[in-house]
């Protein structure tokens, strides 16, 4: 495909998260042999600025050409880049490039909140327009936006596809704009390796882009309260003159320049602070820091929780709810910043800076979660979306007025103060839920609670992204067992009876609504044994990649495998990303949970009992050598109700290899069982 990116900001070199994400996205598409062109600009036009930009490229060894019309062209990683440096009309130049390049797809984004380039993109009748939403602040509707606009909302409705950088952003657009937005990964990462850089002895507690919306007030308050701690601030697009003056008044704050390669900054960072007060869309620097083992303390706001990947710390804040009708010297909307409770931030940071063991535990947990996420991150879902958008006829879209406050939303009539009170109550409830089911707080209104139990060594993140593929009334509730993710410091269970007893106690309060159990491999056995202990069975037991438990009658446990034998078996089953298996450091961190889980199943002996009074659905892979269709069909003996088996292409982990096909079948079964 011929793909054109409309970038109403710098493309390269640039240090903003959105700019970097756009660059990595285009480079990934170019690597897959698409023809990619970028039209970008520098922040201010002029001859002097033009010369400075040329100097920046030269210092990075980037060959370039400069024409008399104030446009600098160069190529990076297979992407041709045209940067406007001294030309009166960016919009007119962009329109010219549309005519000459003849793209099949034009990418526009919230990095152009004024929609300067979106309007000519929509006029290009032969090209499809895909809008990348990277910040709710820059959208023209809803409670997070700075400048609401019905006109701009209608303009956005004309895009052929809208993609949110996170589930939070996609949901926001659907809810407040009435636009069918989706989420696929558009915030890619630099290629590996990701060296471990987090160190208890590193110099700084660091904040990037200190500004009002990013929470500079919290950063300054911590610096004042902890004068013995060395802090570092890296000014970027949001940092205005007032912010710089405030930073200069604190002798324990060092102002550092932006860097092209984030690892240079992280190598000096002990803890990264992300105290955002606006509805952060996702925050790529959170994942980047965690990849390198740098602990992150971040606001529990917007999409940051998705970036944290289930690892603590998420700290509550009072988010910005109102913006003034003006911008500052950085062209950022001026926010009315509410007062903040610095106590939770101080407690979190003080513990990380004083408890070496806790620091190392969080560093390891962060790195494991982020490396697993990175190993599964790919441009391919976005590429498929582009292909579907480019080659399919767009369905006509009825004209409609922008929906600023949907009538069906029960929160729409609440004042900001009542919304804040509700949010605080929900957080308190979340704290009471304990660590076993981290998503339970969002399941109150669900028609069916689907409790999911992972395979050996797996955590709650195994089921990330399932909810968007299942019926709307289903709440996906993964179990987070001890010894993994945020529970890395807890000893894992190696006896089934003890695990089931703990799970029964933890899950009891949440079985007051219709529920079902899903488990893959070891998780299927856990789900089955847990269901047997309950006074009322689940609506359905869904088992995957596991032989029926009665096949382990009179089982004699074999000797435990050596570490190398265990790793080779994982490699053969293709159940853990190759990058993790090949990383000896991370495998040493993951092995305790893996060894405990294999012991859990190795020592498991089935005891006779009545069959379950619930439906059972079994799933398997046609290429799974150990779990055949016959092994799955024997599950029929464990139910007095309906039973079925469905097979999918793939081996033991077919549910990852053929994720879309499997989740479609699971969704269909859930609709039948639960009458959704």
State pLDDT tens for residues 228-241: 999 999 998 889 99
Q: Do 50 and 66 contact (CB within 8 A), yes or no?
A: yes
Specify the CATH class of 2-183 in words: alpha beta
Q: Which of 169-173, 489-493, 659-663 has the weakest average pLDDT?
A: 489-493
DSSP 572-585: HHT-S-HHHHT-HH
Residue 193 preceded by cis peptide, ω within 30: yes
In the predicted structure, residue 322 carries a pLDDT above the cut 50: yes
Note if the pTM is more than 0.75.
Answer: no
Domain boundaries, the chain: 2-183, 204-374, 433-551+561-674
Q: Check if 521 is active-site.
A: yes
User: pLDDT band at 607, cuts 50/70/90?
Assistant: confident
Question: Can you give the pLDDT at residue 495?
Answer: 83
**Mean pLDDT, the chain, integer:** 86
Average pLDDT over residues 104-132: 91
Question: Can you give the pLDDT at residue 52?
Answer: 93
In the predicted structure, residue 399 carries a pLDDT above the cut 60: no
**Bridge partners for 255 per DSSP:** 233
Query: Hey, what are 46's tokens?
Result: 């002029």
In the predicted structure, residue 417 carries a pLDDT above the cut 50: no
Contacts of 109 (CB under 8 A, 6+ apart): 6, 7, 18, 22, 131, 132, 133, 134
More confident residue, 30 or 653: 30
In this structure, how many other beta carbons lie within 10 angstroms of the beta carbon of residue 637?
Answer: 13
Q: Which of the residues 521, 642, 667, 675 is marked catalytic?
A: 521
CATH architecture, domain 433-551+561-674: 3-Layer(aba) Sandwich (3.40)
To 5 degrees, how large is the angle CA 608–CA 609–CA 612?
135
In the predicted structure, residue 376 carries a pLDDT above the cut 60: yes
In the predicted structure, residue 558 carries a pLDDT above the cut 70: no
Query: Hey, what are 160's tokens?
Result: 């052929």
Query: Hey, what are 61's tokens?
Result: 């060894």
More confident residue, 112 or 461: 112
Each residue of 274-312: pLDDT tens digit?
999 988 888 889 999 999 999 999 999 989 999 999 898
The CATH homologous superfamily of the domain defined by 204-374: Glycogen Phosphorylase B; (3.40.50.2000)
Domains 204-374 and 433-551+561-674 share a fold: yes
Question: Can you give the pLDDT at residue 226?
Answer: 97
Question: Can you give the pLDDT at residue 426?
Answer: 37
Q: Which of 23-27, 101-105, 278-282, 570-574 has the weakest average pLDDT?
A: 570-574
Share of the chain above pLDDT 70, in %: 87
Burial status of residue 228 (CB atoms within 10 A of its CB: 0-12, 13-18, 19 or more): exposed
Q: Which of 377-381, 436-440, 601-605 has the weakest average pLDDT?
A: 601-605
Question: Can you give the pLDDT at residue 587?
Answer: 67
CA–CA separation, 23 and 20 (whole Å): 5
Question: Can you give the pLDDT at residue 432?
Answer: 39
Q: Do 656 and 434 contact (CB within 8 A), yes or no?
A: no
User: pLDDT band at 576, cuts 50/70/90?
Assistant: low
């Amino acid at each position: 495909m011929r793909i054109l990116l409309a970038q109403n900001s710098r493309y390269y070199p640039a240090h903003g998260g959105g700019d970097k994400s756009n660059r990595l996205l285009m480079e990934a598409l170019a690597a897959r042999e698409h023809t990619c062109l970028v039209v970008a600009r520098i922040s201010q036009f002029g001859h002097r600025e033009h010369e400075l930009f040329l100097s920046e490229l030269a210092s990075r060894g980037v060959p370039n050409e400069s024409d008399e019309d104030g446009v600098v062209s160069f190529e990076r990683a297979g992407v041709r880049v045209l940067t406007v440096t001294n030309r009166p009309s960016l919009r007119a130049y962009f329109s010219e490039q549309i005519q000459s390049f003849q793209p099949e797809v034009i990418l526009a984004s919230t990095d152009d909140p004024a929609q300067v380039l979106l309007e000519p993109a929509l006029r290009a009748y032969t090209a499809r327009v895909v809008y990348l939403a990277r910040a709710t602040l820059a959208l023209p509707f809803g409670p997070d936006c700075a400048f609401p606009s019905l006109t701009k909302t209608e303009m956005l409705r004309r895009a052929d596809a809208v993609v949110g950088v996170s589930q939070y952003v996609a949901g926001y657009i659907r809810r407040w704009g009435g636009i069918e937005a989706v989420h696929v990964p558009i915030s890619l990462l630099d290629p590996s390796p990701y060296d471990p850089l987090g160190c208890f002895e590193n110099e700084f507690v660091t904040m990037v882009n200190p500004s009002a919306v990013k929470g500079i007030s919290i950063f300054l308050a911590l610096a004042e309260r902890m004068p013995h701690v060395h802090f570092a601030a890296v000014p970027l697009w949001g940092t205005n003159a007032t912010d710089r003056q405030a930073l200069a008044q604190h002798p324990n704050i060092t102002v550092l320049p932006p860097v092209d390669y984030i690892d240079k900054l992280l190598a000096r960072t002990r803890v990264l602070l992300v105290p955002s007060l606006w509805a952060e869309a996702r925050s790529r620097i959170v994942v980047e820091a965690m990849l390198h083992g740098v602990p992150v303390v971040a606001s529990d706001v917007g999409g940051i929780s998705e970036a944290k990947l289930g690892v603590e710390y998420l700290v509550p804040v009072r988010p910005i709810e109102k913006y003034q009708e003006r911008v500052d010297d950085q062209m950022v909307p001026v926010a009315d910043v509410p007062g903040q409770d610095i106590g939770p931030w101080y407690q979190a940071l003080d513990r990380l800076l004083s408890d070496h063991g806790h620091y190392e535990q969080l560093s390891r947990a962060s790195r494991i979660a982020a490396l697993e996420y990175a190993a599964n991150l790919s441009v391919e879902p976005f590429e498929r979306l582009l292909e579907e958008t480019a080659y399919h006829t767009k369905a006509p879209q009825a004209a409609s007025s922008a929906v600023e406050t949907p009538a069906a939303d029960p929160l729409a009539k609440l004042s900001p103060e009542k919304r804040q009170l509700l949010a605080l109550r929900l957080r308190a409830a979340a704290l009471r839920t304990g660590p076993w089911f981290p998503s339970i707080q969002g399941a109150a209104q669900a028609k069916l609670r689907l409790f999911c139990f992972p395979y050996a060594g797996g955590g709650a993140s195994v089921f990330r992204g399932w909810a968007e593929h299942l019926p709307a009334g289903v709440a996906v509730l993964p179990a987070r067992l001890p010894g993994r993710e945020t529970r890395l410091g807890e000893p894992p269970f190696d006896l089934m009876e003890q695990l089931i007893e703990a799970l029964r106690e933890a899950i009891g309060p949440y079985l007051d609504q219709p529920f079902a159990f899903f488990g893959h491999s070891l998780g299927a056995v856990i789900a089955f044994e847990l269901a047997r202990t309950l006074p009322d069975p689940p609506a359905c037991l869904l088992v995957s990649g596991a032989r029926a438990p009665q096949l382990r009658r009179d089982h004699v446990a074999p000797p435990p495998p050596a570490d190398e034998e265990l790793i080779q078996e994982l490699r053969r089953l293709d159940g853990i990303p190759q990058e993790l298996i090949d990383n000896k450091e991370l495998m040493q961190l993951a092995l305790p949970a893996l060894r405990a889980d294999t012991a859990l199943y190795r020592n498991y002996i089935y005891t006779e009992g009545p069959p379950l009074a619930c439906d059972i659905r079994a799933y398997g892979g046609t290429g799974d050598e150990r779990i055949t269709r016959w092994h799955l069909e024997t599950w029929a003996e464990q139910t007095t109700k309906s039973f079925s088996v469905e097979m999918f292409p793939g081996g033991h982990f077919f549910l990852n290899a053929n994720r879309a096909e499997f989740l479609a079948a699971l969704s269909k079964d859930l609709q039948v069982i639960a009458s959704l």
